[in-house]
């Protein structure tokens, strides 16, 4: 006998062998047991999830003389007769190639003839969404009131394309994708049955490539079995799938995530010059970023990904060294690139642009990229990346070990700047320590520059630090400036400060308003942690809660709305326009 593909050899022959469609199998078993057989069924769901297999099993079961657990016995005279290919009691029709009106009219005439061997005449119409509008109309009346011996089973992957008149006449069953754990269990059963040795990681990789479809998984497994005569390894599966080299993808993604644009672009060029498909590269990159996300957020990431130890260790190391917002933004960039590939005549440019965009967050104006940049600055500040030297600020770069000196503000001799103006140059976290911290310490240098302990002496009291200026009622511009300076002095307010810079300010009577047209910014400032920082900044300039309000432009205050309602109630019958 000719060789049968694995997905045909191991097609389920009973409902108990069906993988993870319990919600459908249970209903069909109960209908067979009670004899309450419907006249029309609709099986819809992704490919390779068992629609046609269950339809064939169900068609044989309702005709079987002694069904066993809802499945055909295979021993009675009816089962043996239905097993003959020449039997016409069970007819399978491919709607993709028989989608015209004439085929449906022919079916309508044949359905009147009674079955030969069994109790029911079953018509399985596969890919039913491919029927034309005229064909659906020709089938409609027969589907609604078929003869007592006729049962229709419609199978489709796109239920949305089926007319509502057909849907309303069928008993609908939605098939679901198969979880990876069940796919792995099924694949191990297949390999054990054919005597193929395998690694656990290889099975997991094939199941993951199946993407919830048993048929897709077994088709890949068929190729892998022929690839090697020995034990099937993870490397064998990777070679069969045509995936890019893991080390190369890891190097490229790591360089992009840490901002090394040159290394990331060189990695992309190596893949492209080697002839790798751009679609495959984007898919492999997205899979790697997804693995990093799982490793960073899930406690049981190793078991979820089911990768070799060395591979997972490298993914975990990269994931832990990268900011979560940076990782999320990179995944979004490549997901967008995958969509753009469908409509681009230059897929190479699309991929290279995505690599550069992911590795250059400073040129990305997306909110996630902005948050990641602010978080990186806060992290560097906390780690002491900025220090004070000779009255000026010195910014250090850990990667290049370069030092950039920022000059201290120059004071005019003839007139001393006010405190609030001085603070405009130096944020509080970068201020130089008071003189007492240098001259009054317990360590000093003598003429030979040898450190010696200085005897303890009483320190002069440190003058209290001046606060920011107070709000000026009626002058919205000056009050807004004082608020921003106060907010900048508040700890951990980088994101809130960035958001508030674009707000509009005004006075409404005694009430100071901060307004925005963006609903996203408004809801962000309404969060408890952000509102607390805003409230603290206002309190520092003498504006208490109740004296200021955050407002979405176009939204009137409660007092305004209340006044409008009072006017309408007083002058009933008079039209009041609110502008």
Q: Which residue has the higher pLDDT, 431 or 540?
A: 540
At 442, the pLDDT band (50, 70, 90 cuts) reads very low
Q: Which residue has the tokens 């509009």?
A: 504
Give me the pLDDT at residue 318, please: 92
Mean pLDDT of 270-298: 89
Give me the pLDDT at residue 129, please: 92
Answering whether pTM is above 0.85, one says no
Give me the pLDDT at residue 491, please: 64
Residue 364 has pLDDT above 70, yes or no: no
325 with 368: CB under 8 angstroms?
yes
Q: Which residue has the tokens 């049968």?
A: 4
Mean pLDDT of 86-106: 88
Give me the pLDDT at residue 350, please: 92
Which tokens sit at 395?
A: 């910014």
Share above pLDDT 90 across residues of the chain, in percent, rounded to a whole number: 30
Q: Which residue has the tokens 């960035």?
A: 498
Q: Which residue has the higher pLDDT, 474 or 73?
A: 73
- Residue 332's CB is within 10 A of a number of other CB atoms, namely 15
Q: What dihedral do alpha carbons 289, 295, 297, 303 form, nearest 10°?
A: 130
Give tens-digit pLDDT for 30-69. Answer: 999 998 999 999 999 999 999 999 999 999 999 998 898 8
Question: Which residues, listed in sequence order, are joined to residue 508 by a DSSP beta bridge?
Answer: 511
Which residue in 59, 80, 277, 244 sits closest to 150, CA to CA?
59
Q: Can you give the C-alpha Rg of the chain in angstroms?
A: 36
Give me the pLDDT at residue 466, please: 42
Which residue in 180, 177, 199 sits closest to 294, CA to CA?
180
Residue 420 has pLDDT above 80, yes or no: no
Classified as helix, coil or strand, 274 is coil
Give me the pLDDT at residue 322, please: 87
At 399, the pLDDT band (50, 70, 90 cuts) reads very low
Give me the pLDDT at residue 490, please: 72
- Please, how many CA atoms are within 13 Å of residue 521, restricted to the half-sphere of its CB? 20
At 445, the pLDDT band (50, 70, 90 cuts) reads very low
255 with 264: CB under 8 angstroms?
yes
Give me the pLDDT at residue 465, please: 42
Give me the pLDDT at residue 87, please: 85
Mean pLDDT of 121-141: 91
At 305, the pLDDT band (50, 70, 90 cuts) reads confident
Give me the pLDDT at residue 189, please: 94
Domains of the chain, earliest start first:
6-174 (3.40.50.300), 180-241 (1.10.8.60), 246-370 (1.20.272.10), 386-409+418-466 (no CATH), 476-561 (3.30.300)
Give me the pLDDT at residue 458, please: 54
Distance between CA atoms of 527 and 550, rounded to whole angstroms?
A: 12
Q: Which residue has the higher pLDDT, 519 or 365?
A: 519
């Amino acid at each position: 006998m000719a060789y049968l593909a694995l997905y045909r050899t191991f097609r389920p022959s009973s409902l108990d062998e069906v993988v993870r469609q319990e919600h459908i199998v249970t209903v069909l078993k109960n209908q067979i047991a009670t004899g309450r057989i419907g006249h029309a069924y609709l099986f819809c769901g992704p490919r390779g999830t068992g629609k046609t297999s269950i339809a064939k099993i169900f068609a044989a079961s309702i005709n079987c003389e002694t069904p066993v657990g809802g499945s055909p016995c295979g021993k009675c005279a009816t089962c043996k007769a239905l097993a003959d290919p020449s039997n016409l009691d069970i007819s399978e029709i491919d709607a993709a190639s028989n989608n015209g009106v004439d085929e449906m009219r022919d079916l309508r005439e044949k359905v009147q003839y009674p079955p030969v061997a069994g109790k029911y005449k079953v018509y399985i119409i596969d890919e039913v969404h491919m029927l034309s509008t005229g064909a659906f109309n020709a089938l409609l009346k027969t589907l609604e009131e078929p003869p007592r011996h006729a049962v229709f089973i419609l199978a489709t992957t796109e239920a949305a394309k089926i007319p509502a008149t057909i849907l309303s006449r069928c008993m609908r069953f939605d098939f679901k994708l198969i979880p990876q754990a069940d796919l792995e269990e099924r694949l191990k059963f297949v390999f054990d049955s054919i005597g193929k040795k395998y690694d656990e990681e290889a099975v997991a990789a094939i199941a993951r490539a199946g993407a919830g479809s048993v048929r897709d998984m077994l088709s890949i497994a068929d190729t892998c079995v022929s690839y090697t005569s020995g034990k099937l390894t993870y490397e064998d599966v990777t070679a069969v799938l045509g995936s890019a080299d893991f080390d190369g993808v890891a190097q490229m993604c790591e360089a992009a995530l840490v901002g090394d644009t040159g290394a990331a672009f060189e990695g992309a060029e190596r893949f492209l010059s080697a002839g790798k498909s751009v679609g495959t590269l984007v898919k492999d990159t997205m899979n790697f970023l997804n693995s990093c996300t799982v490793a960073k957020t899930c406690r049981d990431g190793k078991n979820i990904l089911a990768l070799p130890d060395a591979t997972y260790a490298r993914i975990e190391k990269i994931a832990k060294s990268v900011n979560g917002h940076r990782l999320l933004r990179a995944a979004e960039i490549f997901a967008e690139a995958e969509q753009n590939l469908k409509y681009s005549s230059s897929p190479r440019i699309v991929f290279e642009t995505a690599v550069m965009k992911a590795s250059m967050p400073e040129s990305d104006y997306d909110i996630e990229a902005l948050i990641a940049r602010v978080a990186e600055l806060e992290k560097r500040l906390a780690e002491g990346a900025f220090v004070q030297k000779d009255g000026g600020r010195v910014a250090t770069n850990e990667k290049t070990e370069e030092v950039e000196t920022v000059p201290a503000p120059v004071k005019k001799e003839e007139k001393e700047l006010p405190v609030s103006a001085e603070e405009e140059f130096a944020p509080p976290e970068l201020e130089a320590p008071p003189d007492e911290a240098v001259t009054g310490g317990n360590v000093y240098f003598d003429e030979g520059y040898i450190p010696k302990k200085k005897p303890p002496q009483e320190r002069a009291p440190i003058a209290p630090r001046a606060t920011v200026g107070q709000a000026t009622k009626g002058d919205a511009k000056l009050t807004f400036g004082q608020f921003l300076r106060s907010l900048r002095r508040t700890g951990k307010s980088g994101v809130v400060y960035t958001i508030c810079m674009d707000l509009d300010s005004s006075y409404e009577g005694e009430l100071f308003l901060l307004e925005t047209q963006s609903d996203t910014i408004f809801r962000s400032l309404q969060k408890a942690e952000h509102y607390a920082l805003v409230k603290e900044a206002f309190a520092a300039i003498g504006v208490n809660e109740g004296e200021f309000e955050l407002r979405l432009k176009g939204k009137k205050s409660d007092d305004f709305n209340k006044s409008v309602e009072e006017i309408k109630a007083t002058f009933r019958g008079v039209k009041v326009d609110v502008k």
